[in-house]
């Protein structure tokens, strides 16, 4: 027996949902940026929760995409998986977390770079920017360039785990959210 495909949402509904996803991911970036101010909460739980939420939102938004759908879903799933690892294997040691975040950023960067080859126009540009941002952040973390100095100047002495991850997550989320807003804008445009 043949199965019927689900009817697709009209472009304006897809655009609204992708816009909402982009806005929520940008709001998550604010939460990530404020992580150093969260006293008493498990660092792994906060990072994991933010990654799980962003991954679910990004994967959902990916289901609404056209030519880049598999890549967009994969990028969300990689983020979700990284968040689940943080939640299921919490650690207060810096090194395993850095390796996980670097692996997540590199994987996302590669997926988004592949997606950019199937996108066009401004969506291609924003997808490449998102891939580039994740790669730059991975290199910064991987080489040990400390973002903690910025955090310490804003929030005072902060554990290095929170300080480094806060701004890495925030930067990645902001660019990803902006990319989704551009995708939504293109969904609204005729043709």
pLDDT digits (tens, 9 = 90+) for 60-81: 999 998 889 999 999 999 999 9
Q: How far apart are CA 35 and CA 155, in angstroms?
A: 10
Of 148, 179, 155, 156, give the one whose Cα is nearest residue 61. 179
Tell me what pLDDT residue 42 has: 64
Helices (H), the chain: 11-33, 43-63, 69-88, 94-116, 121-143, 148-155, 160-188
Indicate yes or no: pTM above 0.85.
no
Q: How far is CA 25 from the centre of its chain?
A: 7
Q: How confident is the model at residue 164 (pLDDT cuts 50, 70, 90)?
A: low
Please, which residues have CB within 8 angstroms of residue 54's CB and are 6 or more apart in sequence? 25, 28, 76, 79, 83, 173, 176
Res 88 pLDDT > 80? yes
Res 5 pLDDT > 70? no
Q: How confident is the model at residue 6 (pLDDT cuts 50, 70, 90)?
A: very low
Tell me what pLDDT residue 21 has: 93
Of 93, 27, 87, give the one whose Cα is nearest residue 51. 87
């Amino acid at each position: 027996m043949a199965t019927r495909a689900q009817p697709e949402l009209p472009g304006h509904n897809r655009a609204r949902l992708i816009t909402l996803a982009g806005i929520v991911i940008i709001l998550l970036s604010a939460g990530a940026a404020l992580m150093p101010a969260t006293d008493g909460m498990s660092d792994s739980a906060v990072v994991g929760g933010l990654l799980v939420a962003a991954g679910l939102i990004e994967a959902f938004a990916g289901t609404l995409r056209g030519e880049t759908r598999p890549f967009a879903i994969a990028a969300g799933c990689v983020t979700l998986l990284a968040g689940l690892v943080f939640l299921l294997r919490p650690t207060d040691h810096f090194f395993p977390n850095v390796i996980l975040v670097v692996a997540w950023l590199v994987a996302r960067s590669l997926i988004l770079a592949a997606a950019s080859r199937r996108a066009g126009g401004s969506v291609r540009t924003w997808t490449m920017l998102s891939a580039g941002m994740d790669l730059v952040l991975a290199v910064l973390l991987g080489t040990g360039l400390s973002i903690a100095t910025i955090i310490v100047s804003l929030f005072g002495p902060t554990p290095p785990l929170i300080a480094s991850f806060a701004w890495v997550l925030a930067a990645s989320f902001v660019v990803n959210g902006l990319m989704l807003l551009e995708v939504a804008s293109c969904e609204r445009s005729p043709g």
